[in-house]
Structure 1
């Protein structure tokens, strides 16, 4: 039996909408809970606490204790809870899953998902950019280890000096949460529509929604609709073509129903740290046409069709190819499902527990779990 090792999870993510980096944090926390319940070398002697500014949460935790740290009422400023309040309640090490973390805590592992505020700053507000550009490099130098979600993101963070490359481990994303979605609970039935492609739109330049608008007329000529979910799928989207259907924000269950019925999922983004919507679509049996962004090439591999984000004709050609070749589409469904099975939240959590063990100085020879092998070559600041 190893001596007790104490870690705290930065629960600031519970104040965020459960998407993007907050989904990562929620799923990894839950997967760590499951590993603690199952036991094993990585969980031996490990005590984990979730420190959160919210009074109640919906995470199913029994082996991870929750501590509520109320936010200051005045001044109520961004990052005040993380930077000023959380550090006083950290016992042992700290896990921060959402890019920003307290600079006062050096015994921590932080996940930095991407370098987007450097690469496409026009996609973010001034204060958001400033917070990331100031805090992330400081934490990257001070933290015992940094995690990120792809080899591409690892290289970018290192090239920009956010953290040394030999201190960055890859802890991917999982996508098996998408298998919990229930299309049968969707308020809309997408199965009897004419052929349609699906995308998730956001009003940020790097998401490249102009590509979607530009190919809509050519798809309309072939009887193909374009369904746009998300914030860019509001009424404004309708002016780009009569075959565009603006879904707005939809639930995960409705997204599952749309993915299962779509001809394909299109993802023309210019940059990504990982590209979670693409593998979620694969998990739901929806073929993916994705851009040639490095992270998408890495994550989707040959299970997706990749097209240059600046070549609209290539996107139209790829979509019509799937319309005219149902057997190729079925082959892509099978390949996508196989690819998606590589990305599990349990595997991500094992990597995190391996990093925690390395920080705690647990001898590598005692780490027999799968995730430990992925971290054995990563140097961790002593």
Structure 2
């Protein structure tokens, strides 16, 4: 593979506040550059964007060998690649940190340098399509079918996602599990007290991190917090101002939760998020389905206990470092969630033990490991 260039699709990384996929791409590419085999380079492929966003990419990714700028914006590129249009100039290895990829017929066996690898972060578009926007689910399923036909490998974050995908897509042995990790910029600032004051954080609180959709179990969580058995602390919602709010607003109204029991913080900087995680008495993830379950890892890395459902990915990622509340009986789930939170917040010894376990568990996931496995995948192909 000496002298090869790995071209990475930089999906949603140019935004001033990149989403989960954008952050994943930034962290992965930084380490792909740092761990590149001798003579290998990493370049980027990016949708048409303002010049300021191109500059942000090159500043965020020092060592990037080049940047191919498509004439199409992201929505146009997504539509074109969904229908098999717009091949890239030149040839070589392509790695997509999402399903946004130029998937087309090629012969890797006669031309080994022709490789296309995509990433599928979760199986929700197939297993729970009702829990996401219909258009997004339809696009993901269409791109999944193209990956089934043309991808040389498909990266997934957990074995749970691999198993779920194997029931809906015929990928054979092309699935490779490569987990992500906590963002390297999620670090407590020196002025943590001042940050907490500026956010008006309660002294004690339970935390949830968005998006707040049916898939992430927001309805069950809000009903748990108004249950008679719930701890008498506020629920802090991070990310509540980002993306569709219909589900969140509906459940807040239905549950009639008092205003002083909910704190909506919207989108936060990494420094602010680190403070909110670290000061929470528990992070709650009552999810129906997850991909990497990054909020659990982020909270554990900062010593915050995690209470989560028995969604397969959460069980895999948290291992024995979190408290599990099974979703088996939907009618009693909010009550059982409330009781678990009440017991945890009244037991300092258990919270401390979970903090120790969580920190150790989070250390098992690193971006360097993800990058080295990605290079090995392309080498194996």
TM-score when scaled to structure 2? 0.83
1:369: which partner in 2? Answer: none
1:362: which partner in 2? Answer: none
- The alpha carbon displacement at 1:184 in A equals 3.0
Q: Deviations over 1:344-380 (max 9, x none)?
A: 0000001101011112xxxxxxxxxxxxxxxxxxxxx
| Structure 2: distance between partners of 1:201 and 1:45 | 41
125, 135, 149: which is aligned to 2:143? 135
Count of residues in Structure 1 that have an aligned counterpart in Structure 2? 350
43, 48, 54: which is aligned to 1:49? 43
2:218: which partner in 1? Answer: 209
2:189: which partner in 1? Answer: 182
CA contact (8 A) 2:42 2:64 kept: yes
Q: Deviations over 1:107-164 (max 9, x none)?
A: 2111111111111111222322221111212223311111110001111111112522
Partner SS for 2:303: coil
Q: Deviations over 1:237-291 (max 9, x none)?
A: 7644121222222222222111111110001110012201110000111110011
Structure 1 position 333 matched with structure 2 position 345: no
2:8: which partner in 1? Answer: 9
Deviates more, 1:62-71 or 1:257-266: 62-71
Q: CA RMSD in A?
A: 2.7
Q: Deviations over 1:17-65 (max 9, x none)?
A: 52222211111001112213xxxxxx12312211223332245334321
C-alpha distance 335-241 of structure 1, shift in aligned 2 (>3 A) = same
257, 264, 289: which is aligned to 1:241? 257
Instruction: Show structure 1 runs of 5+ residues with no match.
Output: 37-42, 360-382
Q: Which runs of 4+ in 1 moved over 6 A?
A: 83-86, 232-235
Deviates more, 1:319-328 or 1:11-20: 11-20
1:262: which partner in 2? Answer: 280
CA contact (8 A) 2:180 2:366 kept: yes
310, 313, 338: which is aligned to 1:316? 338
C-alpha distance 159-238 of structure 1, shift in aligned 2 (>3 A) = closer
| Structure 2: distance between partners of 1:3 and 1:110 | 22
| Structure 1: distance between partners of 2:105 and 2:34 | 26
C-alpha distance 323-127 of structure 1, shift in aligned 2 (>3 A) = closer
Structure 1 position 121 matched with structure 2 position 129: yes
CA contact (8 A) 1:194 1:223 kept: no
| Structure 1: distance between partners of 2:205 and 2:324 | 19
| Structure 1: distance between partners of 2:27 and 2:268 | 20
Instruction: Show structure 2 runs of 5+ residues with no match.
Output: 107-114
